[in-house]
């Protein structure tokens, strides 16, 4: 956990919502200079901040609508801090909670050097990262449709589907596989949606590969040297990581990727694991996917995985493999060197 400890003359805490915000500005002595509600309007917020802009820092809790505040601060040279929502317990732990109190607590944490920082992702790359996340959302919805067709087949105790649902040319036969007209209609809806999702995902992937990849060729081809990592997975890793140097140690990186569990320890005793959902869920997915794909057609990798599986079981072995791939990616991007399979399976 990192805290913002720089000193300023004025400290601004904003409790931000989609259409409104509550603003609190404190001076170095902790006196309230401004404490009021505003609409989410750039000009109105800038007007409230203007008298204190000579030495001001603004803090916002990390919610979905923080982009425009960060961009406004960047444009006008105002220091900006993004507060980590899961770590800001002082906001959520009070007996009384409202926007007015929350904005004051954010400003007070900022003034005292106790506000936990989240990473402020660069403006120029945000839209592409969000597009990659949107593609993943559509891919998961597509997977749910495949699962529904298979579950329907099991419900009626029908023979296994001879045609592969994933093959577009076989989907008409998949509908005819079911006997009842209503069931056929239900499956036809799934098939029609599958075709729509296929088209949308294909268009997104073509855009990403041809328009975005050229800006990140070095890192892109480094990650492609890992068996099983394709174009989209490589771009996902690059855009979710952004700058590998923001992680001082490899332990910080794999923790951020949710590849290790947290520990609570007191008086030499470990009480429980915690923090399993703290970190980047998209990197957790990417490395889990990379671990599964790493084994496809990779005899050396399969032999290494067999040793892990014999010792730890299949589930834990996959988790160990994903964490080890995370370590490999960290050092590859840090040193600018491609993946070495022989070294990976022996270290």
The pLDDT of residue 89 is 73
Question: Do 183 and 250 lie in a common domain?
Answer: no
Looking from the CA of 21 toward its CB, the CA atoms found within 13 Å total 27
Contact 222, 336 (CB under 8 A): yes
Instruction: Give me the domain span that covers residue 252.
Output: 233-264+277-346
Q: What average pLDDT does range 271-275 have in this prediction?
A: 68
**Number of domain units in the chain:** 3
Contact 148, 155 (CB under 8 A): no
Alpha-helix residue ranges (DSSP H) falling in the chain: 42-49, 67-75, 89-92, 99-111, 123-155, 171-176, 181-207, 217-224, 231-241, 250-256, 281-294, 299-312, 314-335, 341-346
The string of pLDDT tens digits covering residues 57-68 is: 999 998 888 999
Is 308 domain-assigned? yes
Rounded CA-CA distance 283/135 in Å is 14
Of all residues in the chain, the percent with pLDDT exceeding 90 is 69
Question: Do 135 and 113 lie in a common domain?
Answer: no
Band of pLDDT at residue 165, cut at 50, 70 and 90? low
Task: For residue 283, give the nearest of 341, 339, 238, 224 by alpha carbon.
Answer: 238
Is 270 domain-assigned? no
Question: Do 75 and 145 lie in a common domain?
Answer: no
Is 272 domain-assigned? no
The torsion of the CA quartet 52, 57, 58, 60, rounded to 10 degrees, works out to -160
Lowest mean pLDDT among 164-168, 203-207, 327-331: 164-168
Pairing of the two strands 79-83 and 56-61: parallel
The last residue of a domain, from among 55, 84, 118: 118
Question: Do 82 and 135 lie in a common domain?
Answer: no
Report whether pLDDT(339) > 90: yes
b/e sequence 233-245, b meaning 16+ C-beta within 10 Å: bbbbbbbbbeebe
CATH of the domain at 29: 3.30.420.40
Question: Do 113 and 29 lie in a common domain?
Answer: yes
Is 269 domain-assigned? no
Is 88 domain-assigned? yes
The last residue of a domain, from among 87, 103, 118: 118
On average, the pLDDT of the chain sits at: 89
Report whether pLDDT(267) > 90: no
Is 329 domain-assigned? yes
Within its chain, how far is the Cα of 32 from the centroid? 36
Question: Do 85 and 143 lie in a common domain?
Answer: no
The torsion of the CA quartet 222, 228, 229, 232, rounded to 10 degrees, works out to 140
pTM of the model: 0.85
Band of pLDDT at residue 280, cut at 50, 70 and 90? very high
Question: Do 176 and 208 lie in a common domain?
Answer: yes
Task: For residue 246, give the nearest of 55, 118, 102 by alpha carbon.
Answer: 118
Torsion sign, CA atoms 12, 2, 127, 244: positive
Q: What is the DSSP letter of 256?
A: H
The pLDDT of residue 103 is 92
Task: For residue 222, give the nearest of 328, 76, 295 by alpha carbon.
Answer: 328
The last residue of a domain, from among 118, 143, 159: 118
The string of pLDDT tens digits covering residues 291-307 is: 999 999 899 999 999 99
Question: Do 111 and 87 lie in a common domain?
Answer: yes
Beta bridge partners of 270: 265
Report whether pLDDT(52) > 90: yes
Report whether pLDDT(77) > 80: yes
Within its chain, how far is the Cα of 105 from the centroid? 27
Q: Which two tokens stand for residue 311?
A: 């010792």
Question: Do 108 and 131 lie in a common domain?
Answer: no
Question: Do 171 and 72 lie in a common domain?
Answer: no
Task: For residue 254, give the nearest of 183, 325, 184, 191 by alpha carbon.
Answer: 325
The pLDDT of residue 256 is 93
The pLDDT of residue 164 is 64
For residue 211, give Cα distances in angstroms to 158, 206, 214, 215, 305: 45, 8, 7, 8, 36
Question: Do 19 and 90 lie in a common domain?
Answer: yes
Q: Which two tokens stand for residue 187?
A: 């499956």
Question: Do 26 and 86 lie in a common domain?
Answer: yes
Beta bridge partners of 39: 20
Band of pLDDT at residue 258, cut at 50, 70 and 90? very high
Q: What average pLDDT does range 182-188 have in this prediction?
A: 92
Lowest mean pLDDT among 73-77, 127-131, 212-216: 212-216
Report whether pLDDT(55) > 90: yes
Of all residues in the chain, the percent with pLDDT exceeding 70 is 93
Beta bridge partners of 272: 264
Band of pLDDT at residue 1, cut at 50, 70 and 90? confident
Is 135 domain-assigned? yes
For residue 224, give Cα distances in angstroms to 38, 68, 160, 235, 252: 48, 34, 36, 10, 23
The pLDDT of residue 104 is 93
Band of pLDDT at residue 217, cut at 50, 70 and 90? confident
3-state secondary structure of 132: helix
Contact 12, 58 (CB under 8 A): yes
Rounded CA-CA distance 124/321 in Å is 33
The pLDDT of residue 330 is 96
Is 73 domain-assigned? yes
Report whether pLDDT(263) > 80: no
Rounded CA-CA distance 163/149 in Å is 12
């Amino acid at each position: 956990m990192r805290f913002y400890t720089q000193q300023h003359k004025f400290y601004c805490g904003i409790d931000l919502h989609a259409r409104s915000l509550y603003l609190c500005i404190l001076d170095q002595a902790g006196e309230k200079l401004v404490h009021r509600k505003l609409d989410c309007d750039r000009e109105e917020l800038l007007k409230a901040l203007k008298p204190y802009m000579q030495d001001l820092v603004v803090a916002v809790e990390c919610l979905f609508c923080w982009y425009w505040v960060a961009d406004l601060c960047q444009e006008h040279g105002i220091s900006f801090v993004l507060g980590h929502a899961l770590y800001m317990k002082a906001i959520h732990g009070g007996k009384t909670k409202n926007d007015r109190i929350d904005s004051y607590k954010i400003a007070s944490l900022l003034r005292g050097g106790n506000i936990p920082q989240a990473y402020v992702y660069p403006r120029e790359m945000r839209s592409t990262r969000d597009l990659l996340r949107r593609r993943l959302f559509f891919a998961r919805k597509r997977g749910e449709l495949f699962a529904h067709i298979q579950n329907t087949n099991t419900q009626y105790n029908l023979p296994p589907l001879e045609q592969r649902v994933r093959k577009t040319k076989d989907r008409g036969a998949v509908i005819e596989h079911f006997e009842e007209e209503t069931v056929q209609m239900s499956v036809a809806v799934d098939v029609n949606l599958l075709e729509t999702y296929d088209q949308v995902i294909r268009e997104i992937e073509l855009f990403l590969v041809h328009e975005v990849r050229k800006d990140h060729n070095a890192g892109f081809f480094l990650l492609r040297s890992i068996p099983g990592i394709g174009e989209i997975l490589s771009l996902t890793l690059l855009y979710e990581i952004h700058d590998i140097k923001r992680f001082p140690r490899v332990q910080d990186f794999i923790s951020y990727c949710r590849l290790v569990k947290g520990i609570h320890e007191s008086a030499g005793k470990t009480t429980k694991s915690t923090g399993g959902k703290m970190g980047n869920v998209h990197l957790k997915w990417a490395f889990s996917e990379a671990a599964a794909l790493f084994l496809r057609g990779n005899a050396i990798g399969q032999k290494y995985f067999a040793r892990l599986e014999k010792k730890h079981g299949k589930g834990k072995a996959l988790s160990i493999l994903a964490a080890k791939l995370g370590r490999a990616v960290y050092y590859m991007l840090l040193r600018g060197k491609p993946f070495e399979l022989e070294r990976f399976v022996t270290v």
